[in-house]
Amino acid sequence: MTDSSVIDDEQDVPAEAPAQHADMPDTPDLPDAPDTLQAPDVPEALNAHVAKWSGFLADCGSLAGQINPYQHAGRLTRINGLVMEASGLKLPLGSGCRIMVPGGNSCEAEVVGFNGEKLFMMPTDDVVGLAPGAQVIPLETTPPRPTTTERLEPRRRASDRAKHLPVGDALLGRVVDGAGRPLDGLGPVVTRHSRSVASRAVNPLLREPIRRTMDVGIRSINSLLTVGRGQRVGLFAGSGVGKSVLLGMMARFTSAEVVVVGLIGERGREVKEFIEQILGAAGLARSVVVAAPADTSPLMRLQGAAYATTVAEWFRDQGRHVLLIMDSLTRYAMAQREIALAIGEPPVTRGYPPSVFARLPQLVERAGNGPEGGGSITAFYTVLAEGDDQQDPIADSARAILDGHFVLTRQLADGGHYPAIDIEQSVSRAMHGLVKPSHFDLVRQFKSLWSRYQRARDLIAVGAYAPGSDPQLDLAVNMFPVLETFLQQRMDEREGYEDAVMKLHQLFGATP
Ligand SMILES: Nc1ncnc2c1ncn2[C@@H]1O[C@H](COP(=O)(O)OP(=O)(O)OP(=O)(O)O)[C@@H](O)[C@H]1O
Ligand SMILES: [Mg+2]
């Protein structure tokens, strides 16, 4: 059908065009022909039609020009731990390869470095069965298909050559791996759209500032650590203090239209638990889960994080407000460390090579607001920070590149205080511009009473506190049970933004 309409259109155009020339014998020469098509008496619809099909044909032509008529192949010469070496191929960094396993199977790998004539590759799949001398075939990235509705972008950026994975509404309610393959047994993901996993961040000058609040459904965050649309926040915590539960509550209760969850480098068991018990069927319906657990290759874990971000970017570009949850940023950094050390990069800070610290902002900067008036990606990244270890280089680096950090402490969790957010140590850096000054004053009052009590806690415990000597401390002691109840929230309890702010005002007898 498509072909016959092409032919019809091509026949129509010349039939009209010569008639114009016949009326104007002085018309100098053919290069003016396109101008005659613009003349007012040619129907607008015809112009649009011609433009549409000429664009389509031009896209087909340029794609045909990019086809490489020769297929070259190299040979696998060495496997050293995670790194494979191949000779006989010259491929750019980031290219994909297929390594043939005797017996018809194959294994996918990506070029991660080179040294002279040698290419270093890392597998994205299992490498069992590879033999010396195995054939290494470059994988062409599938170019996007030309359509009559949209012109193709010129493919001149590195990201255009990176892997393209499926994006789109069909992913909602699905659980996929780092390569976009379904893990939930619900059949293939059928979508027309695909997108490069290596896209670049939005131009910082075009980004919409963080101006509007984002309701995450958690009382303490909504009222005391207000988060804005497009803000990127780190959730700093040790193991087992309630990160997953808190993220799951946000995913279920948030006002965001779409939730994208990246489960990177965590235990495989946790993936199922998170989806079934924490997210639940209702939460999953408007979520996309990308899971690359600890047993997948480091490359797949990196790709999983990039893919989750790509999916969120696609929804943002459709004008939707997205909540991106990444658990965890530390495991992402560890995957990059595994790769970098394996190809010989020297470790600099606590075993982390420099490329790790370059990778983190590249990933995080892709989240955030889009251009003015568009959608947004509000992101939460978990960062493993055990105890009071402020020296952890990943936590340090994450704190610097994120717009806020919420600290979950074991002391609170051990006391059954959930969510175990330590409001003294936590900061939302965008909050200033989001809430009214009167609201901000109450937050300051709340924090100062809370800290006042914490500092005198030991005195109170040993009975050395005598009421009447310090009015501020007396107030803190009196109000402490109310403040504590205010901060705690059950797993199944949702508290919207308006209600949370109202309750904060009520605590201090103020009106919003
Ligand atoms: N809001 C809450 N109300 C009641 N209990 C909670 C709440 N949040 C967390 N918990 C308890 O804390 C436990 C650990 O939570 P969770 O699995 O979220 O921790 P985690 O930090 O993700 O752990 P890991 O580091 O192992 O991934 C839960 O099993 C639950 O019993
Ligand atoms: Mg967890």
270 CA → ligand 2 middle, Å: 7
Residue 240 alpha carbon, nearest atom of ligand 1: 23
Name the closest-CA residue to atom 7, ligand 1.
418
Q: Tokens representing 275?
A: 């989806």
Q: Could you give the CA distance from residue 165 to residue 168 in angstroms, rounded to a whole number?
A: 10
- The answer to whether the beta carbons of residues 503 and 441 sit under 8 Å apart is no
Distance CA 85, CA 77 (A): 6
- Cα(218)–Cα(255) distance, integer angstroms: 11
Say yes or no: CB of residue 11 within 6 Å of ligand 1: no
Quick check: CB of 419 below 6 Å from ligand 1?
Answer: yes
Classify residue 145 by its DSSP letter. P
CB of 309 closer than 8 Å to CB of 322: no
What is the three-state SS of 348-379? CECCECHHHHHHHHHHHCCCEECECCCCEEEE
The whole-number pLDDT of residue 449 equals: 93
Q: Whose CA is nearest to atom 8 of ligand 1?
A: 242
Q: From ligand 1's centre to the CA of 150, what distance in Å?
A: 47
Helix (H) or strand (E) holding 80: strand 74-80
Query: Which of 245, 252, 382, 494 has most ligand 1 atoms within 8 Å of CB, for mutation?
Result: 245
Is the CB of residue 239 below 6 angstroms from any atom belonging to ligand 1? yes
Task: Report residue 255 as tokens.
Answer: 């006002």
Measured at the CA of 364, the angle between CA 361 and CA 367, to 5 degrees, comes to 145
How far does Cα 300 stand from its chain's mean position? 15
Q: Which ligand 1 atom is at minimum distance from the Cα of 267?
A: 27
Could you tell me if 447 and 424 are in contact, meaning their C-beta atoms sit under 8 angstroms apart? Answer: yes
Asked if 172 contacts 295 with a C-beta cutoff of 8 angstroms, the reply is: no
Gap between the Cα atoms of 258 and 270, Å rounded: 22
In angstroms, the first-to-last Cα distance of the chain is 63
What pLDDT is stored for residue 21 in this prediction?
Answer: 42
Q: Which helix (H) or strand (E) holds 235?
A: strand 232-237
pLDDT score recorded for residue 18: 41
CA distance 335 to 312: 21
Question: How far away, in angstroms, is 278 Cα from ligand 1 center?
Answer: 10
C-alpha 240 to ligand 2 mean position (Å): 7
* 114 and 122 Cβ atoms separated by less than 8 Å: no
Tokens of 52: 């549409």
The gap from C-alpha 95 to its chain's centroid, in whole angstroms, comes to 21
> Which ligand is the nearest neighbour of the Cα of 242?
1
Contacts of 220 (CB under 8 A, 6+ apart): 419, 421, 423, 486, 487, 489, 500
Instruction: Please tell me the distance between residue 281's alpha carbon and the centre of ligand 2 in angstroms.
Output: 19
- What residues form DSSP beta bridges with 166? 194
Closest protein CA for atom 26 of ligand 1:
240
Which residues partner with 292 through β-bridges?
264
- What's the CA gap between 159 and 164, in Å, rounded? 9
Estimate to the nearest angstrom the gap between the alpha carbon of 172 and the chain centroid.
Answer: 15
| pLDDT confidence of residue 161 | 63
| Alpha helices by DSSP H, 318-462 | 329-342, 354-364, 393-401, 410-414, 437-461
310 lines ligand 1 (CB under 6 A): no
Q: What is the pLDDT along the chain (512 residues), one digit of tens a residue?
A: 334 443 333 334 343 334 344 444 444 444 444 444 455 566 676 788 888 888 889 888 887 877 766 778 899 999 988 899 999 988 888 888 899 987 788 888 988 889 999 999 998 888 888 889 999 998 876 666 777 777 776 665 666 667 788 999 999 999 999 999 999 889 898 888 888 888 878 888 989 999 899 999 999 999 999 999 999 999 999 888 999 999 999 999 998 999 999 999 988 888 888 998 888 888 899 999 999 999 899 999 999 999 999 999 999 999 999 999 999 899 999 999 999 998 888 998 888 999 999 999 999 999 999 888 889 999 999 999 876 565 788 999 999 999 999 999 998 999 999 999 999 999 999 998 899 999 999 999 999 999 999 988 888 888 888 888 888 888 888 899 999 999 999 999 999 999 999 999 998 876 76
Look at residue 10 in the predicted model and tell me its pLDDT.
Answer: 37
Between CA 131 and CA 139, with CA 136 as vertex, the angle to 5 degrees is 140
